[in-house]
Amino acid sequence: MAIELSYVLITPYTILKSRTGGVIARLLSRTDLELVGAQMLTPTKELSEKYAAILRKSVSSKAADLLSDYVINNFTPGEDGSKRRVLMLLFKGDNACSKLYSIAGRLSPESRAAGEMRITGETVRDTYADLVFDRDGSLRYFEPAVLLPPDQEFAMEKLKLFAGFTETQPNIVDVRYEDKSDIERTLVIIKPDNWRYPSSKPGNIIDMFSRTGLRIIATKIYQMTVAEALEFYGPVQGVLREKLAPKIGDKAKTLLETEFKIALPENSSSRLSEIIGVPFADDQFSQIVEFMSGIRPDKCPKNKLNDPGLVKTMVLVYEGKKAVKKIRDVLGPTDPTKAPSGTIRREYGQDVMVNTAHASDSPENAQREMGIIKIQENNLNKIIRKFLAEKGYK
């Protein structure tokens, strides 16, 4: 067994048709590999031509022509300057390349041209790709759905190419709109409970968000620091104190009166709220921070507050008309037990904390939250560079 780093590129058409979540669900649920990086790219003409050239020399002749021509025609920006979105996913683990390749499925131009349609629906390409020939054997239509290397040797030169490109690529990509009225950006975080074991849940959640018709303009795999979690959820602490402390004070008063069979003064509830209620609310807040970072803030040394957390999340930025409301409508309310059927939290949430995903509640908060988690930064490039260095590939 060999630890490998491989990539999957989700093509512009697959993204445009909102098939991104379905592809990710397949890749995550059918392998033990770790998704370590994700970034939305908008390839330049230069990158597209270089990638196409590598494909042309690294795969079988018939497939090479198809794939390289496809990249030139579909990755390169349009004549009007419009950019094509390509989602790059990085996976790491034992024999990552061959495992991903088997899940993605092969492209077999020769067999399909001869009429041998062995499509079972098992692979990503069985479901989402198209390779259509006319009766005379000429190609009518080709859409591969995903692009990826068959083995580590073929992956290395391509990884180096994308490492160079992503060094200067912004993490938030630009999308053109004919009508910019009501265009908003909102932040979504697919929370740590979805990453505890290989599962289709993250992909299914993205698939459910796709019903909004919004566009994903940024994403990254992220480990929130304790400091970031404290700042991100800071406003929640005051709300918890306001809502929980009085209830705990009243409950404590009732319990004490029942246990000791005495009548306490009326103002004892407020005193007990301060003594018991506030610490209880603060503990709930600490549990939220621990859930999102993997570390309780009171157990984290000060010199470790800004270290990457111990749990993983996936961050996405959605953009479009009334994005905040559309995303929150699909997500559902904080308490999954009160969420309507068909919402994400109703389907996948457990309680008010383990409720599967976060979504900004206003465009202003979206900006604030994106700033806290440094949305313009992405470690995908560093992961590739580190792996290339470890393998002695310059």
Q: Which residues are catalytic?
A: 358
Give the other-Cβ count within 10 Å of 368's Cβ.
15
Give CA–CA dist 58/67, Å, rounded.
11
The amino acid sitting at 289 is V
Strand partners, 94: 3
- Do residues 192 and 294 make contact, with C-beta atoms less than 8 angstroms apart? yes
Q: Which residues contact 54 (CB under 8 A, 6 or more apart)?
A: 157, 158, 161
Q: Which two tokens stand for residue 342?
A: 């068909």
Give CA–CA dist 280/249, Å, rounded.
10
Give CA–CA dist 58/298, Å, rounded.
53
Cα-trace Rg, the chain:
25
Burial class (CB in 10 A: 0-12, 13-18, 19+), 366: buried
- Do residues 76 and 84 make contact, with C-beta atoms less than 8 angstroms apart? yes
Q: Which two tokens stand for residue 296?
A: 């309780």
Give CA–CA dist 20/207, Å, rounded.
7
- Do residues 320 and 215 make contact, with C-beta atoms less than 8 angstroms apart? yes
- Do residues 219 and 316 make contact, with C-beta atoms less than 8 angstroms apart? yes
Instruction: Enumerate long-range contacts of 281-284, CB under 8 Å, 24 or more apart.
Output: 281/237, 281/240, 281/241, 281/243, 281/244, 281/245, 281/248, 282/237, 282/240, 282/241, 284/240, 284/244
Please report which helix (H) or strand (E) contains residue 185, including its range.
strand 183-190
